Amino acid sequence: MIEKTTIVETHLQTELGKVLFGLEDVIHALTIGLLARGHVLLEGAPGLGKTLLSKTFARVLGGTFKRIQGTADLMPSDITGVHIYNAETRSFEFQPGPLFADVVLVDEINRAGPKTQSALLEAMQERQVSVDRDTFALAEEFLVIATQNPREFEGTYPLPESQLDRFMICARVGYPPRDFETQVIDAYNLPHANPEDSVNVETLGAEALAAARGELEAIHLAPELIGYVLDIAAATRENTSVNLGLSTRGALSLARCARIEAGLRGGDYVVPDDVKRVAPWVVEHRLVLSSEAALEGVSAGQVLQHVLDNVAVPH
């Protein structure tokens, strides 16, 4: 019986719901990323609560939290840290940057230049940082939550394909329905500096998170479902509208997230609908469309839907 996994999501939905309204689907995606130890990219227009969601998520998780603001002049050393000469000891000492935290929010990541974006690659994949021939391990629960504006916004740089592939999940934050927007205005119209800080949230214990991850190991992923994931990956690579399809890392992420989705619905085994449910979060941002498809207005979401409609579902 899957219980501890659903308890984690219920806790996150309840505590984040005290501060944010109408983002249950995005919180569900964040929960999957957390349980899978994967990094999460939040995409949407400014002013929709992406930064607030990330900050509150870090508060609920506990641990140390650092925020990096993406700017055009942000340098790699600004996030990794530098060696500084200590006159007393006559030696260079390493001063760690903001990457040395449990939860790191990279706000507006696509406003940072490509060189700085690339500095995140090692940290996100290897969970370590190399500076001046020295290698430093990052926190055990190191998690990057990045936000980005739509690509057509002025002053933004497209994220490299290798960078996008290291985000396990990309969730899009859209405009809220009127009822939820009414709640936002009603809750935050007072002239306080940070009204959300006055809301008390209960921290999710490390034991509960570890127990949920352990419980997920018992969920069965049948060989037929592994084949289904690989068929989806192959179909993205063979699609004429796609220059770069789903990588092996992406296929693995799809399988891992489908297993967690099964646990969050209380299931003991993965079914095709679990794969389809998480596919938009895992696959879309990894697809690089051809120039012809882009000119024709074809979106990655349309390509993925075509793939899901045409790949045979195992029985």
Same domain, 173 and 261: no
User: What is the average pLDDT across 149-166?
Assistant: 76
Statement: residue 6 has pLDDT above 80: yes
State the CB neighbour count (10 A cutoff) for residue 283. 26
CA distance 5 to 32: 10
CA distance 98 to 95: 10
Same domain, 162 and 91: yes
CA distance 104 to 142: 8
Same domain, 48 and 167: yes
Statement: residue 266 has pLDDT above 70: yes
Domain total of the chain: 2
Same domain, 18 and 120: yes
Evaluate whether residue 54 is within a structural domain.
yes
Same domain, 22 and 100: yes
Statement: residue 247 has pLDDT above 60: yes
Residue 65, pLDDT score: 87
Residue 151, pLDDT score: 63
Instruction: Write out the residue range of the structural domain in which residue 86 sits.
Output: 4-189
CA distance 29 to 17: 14
Statement: residue 278 has pLDDT above 80: yes
Statement: residue 152 has pLDDT above 60: no
Cα dist from 222 to 227, 269, 271, 315, whole Å: 9, 8, 9, 11
151 CB contacts (<8 Å, ≥6 apart)? 110, 158
- Among residues 174, 189, 204, the one where a domain terminates is 189
pLDDT per residue over 26-74, tens digit each?
999 999 999 999 999 999 888 888 888 888 998 898 878 899 998 888 8
> What tokens were used for 207?
């034991």
Evaluate whether residue 292 is within a structural domain.
yes
Evaluate whether residue 225 is within a structural domain.
yes
Residue 155, pLDDT score: 66
Buried b / exposed e over 90-100, threshold 16 CB at 10 Å, is: eeeebeebbbb
Cα pseudo-dihedral 162, 164, 165, 166, rounded to 10: 90
Same domain, 149 and 298: no
Smallest CA-to-CA distance from 217 within 263, 173, 180 is with: 263
Same domain, 140 and 269: no
Burial environment of residue 232 by CB neighbours within 10 A (0 to 12, 13 to 18, 19 or more): buried
- The CATH number of residue 146's host domain is 3.40.50.300
Maximum CA extent, the chain: 70
pLDDT per residue over 194-228, tens digit each?
666 778 889 888 888 999 999 998 999 999 999 99
- The CATH number of residue 288's host domain is 1.10.8.80
Same domain, 27 and 80: yes
